[in-house]
Amino acid sequence: MTPGATGARPWLAFTTCCLIWGSTFLVIRIGNSSLPAIWAAVLRLALASVLLAAIAFALRRRWPRGAELRAALAFGFVDFGISLPLLYWGEREVPSGVAAVMFATIPLTTSLFAWGMGLERLRAGTLIAAVLAIGGVALLAASPIAPGVTAPAVVAVALAAITASLAGVLLKRAPGADPFAMNSLAHGVGAVVCLAISAAMGERWVLPRGAEWWPVLYLTVVGSIVAFVTFAWLLQRWPASRASFIAVCTPVVATLLGARVLGERLTAGALAGAIVVMAAVLIGVLSDRAGATRR
Residue 91 in 3-state DSSP?
A: coil
pTM of the model: 0.84
- pLDDT on residue 175: 62
Task: Please tell me the chain's helix, strand, coil percentages from 3-state DSSP, rounded to the nearest 5.
Answer: 75, 0, 25
| pLDDT at position 80 over 80 | yes
d(CA 191, CA 77): 9
User: What is the reported pLDDT for 153?
Assistant: 93
Most confident of 55-69, 139-153, 166-180, 262-276: 55-69
- Residue 81: band (very low, low, confident or very high) from pLDDT cuts 50, 70, 90: very high
Tell me: the pLDDT tens digits for 89-114? 999 999 998 898 888 888 778 778 87
Smallest CA-to-CA distance from 102 within 63, 65, 138, 146 is with 138
Q: In angstroms, rounded to a whole number, what is the distance separating the alpha carbons of residues 24 and 36?
A: 17
Give the number of C-alpha atoms closer than 13 A to the C-alpha of residue 220, restricted to the C-beta side: 23
Q: What is the pLDDT averaged over residues 8-32? A: 92
For residue range 264-284, what is the model confidence (pLDDT) as tens digits? 887 777 778 778 887 887 777
